[in-house]
Amino acid sequence: MTDFALHPRLAADSLAVTDLALCRVLLMNDSRFPWLVLVPRLAGAREIVDLPRADRLLLAEETDLAARSLRTLCPTDKLNIGAIGNIVEQLHVHIVARQRTDPAWPGVVWGFGSATPYSGAEAETRIAGLKGLLIQP
């Protein structure tokens, strides 16, 4: 994994939360939606179907952990989970805690308006909460 580098677009749009066994966990810097992005630290990875099976299953487990953690921390009517990558090719998985009252509901968040960055204190609180939940067995 020595060649892994986070895509600059993902780095610019997010705040680092923690590293799991496979994935870097990012909090999208958009206070409109509780929104995590998981990035496997595998240089050149682009499609889930092209991962070695062990990495693919570990990504599924880490997606599960991250989704449950986000739902524990934030009011959630529906989890939205997606691997898209049409704009940023580096493999990444979105996990969004949606509420019926959020501005994009019932549409998807991707491509919806412009991000509203967190204040420093808001970000710190959310990241600390996530770190306390994102514990691998």
Interacting residues with its own copies (CB under 8 A) = 47-49, 56-57, 60, 64, 67-68, 71, 78-87, 89, 98, 105-108, 110-111
Q: Nearest distance from residue 136's CB to its own copies, in Å?
A: 15
Residue 35 tokens read as: 């929104």
Smaller CB separation from its own copies, 111 or 132: 111
| C-alpha triplet 85, 128, 27: angle, nearest 5° | 15
Smaller CB separation from its own copies, 40 or 118: 40
Q: Tell me 51's DSSP state.
A: S
Smaller CB separation from its own copies, 105 or 123: 105
Q: At what angle do helices 53-73 and 120-133 cross, to 10 degrees?
A: 120
Overall residue count recorded for the chain in this entry: 137
Q: Nearest distance from residue 124's CB to its own copies, in Å?
A: 26
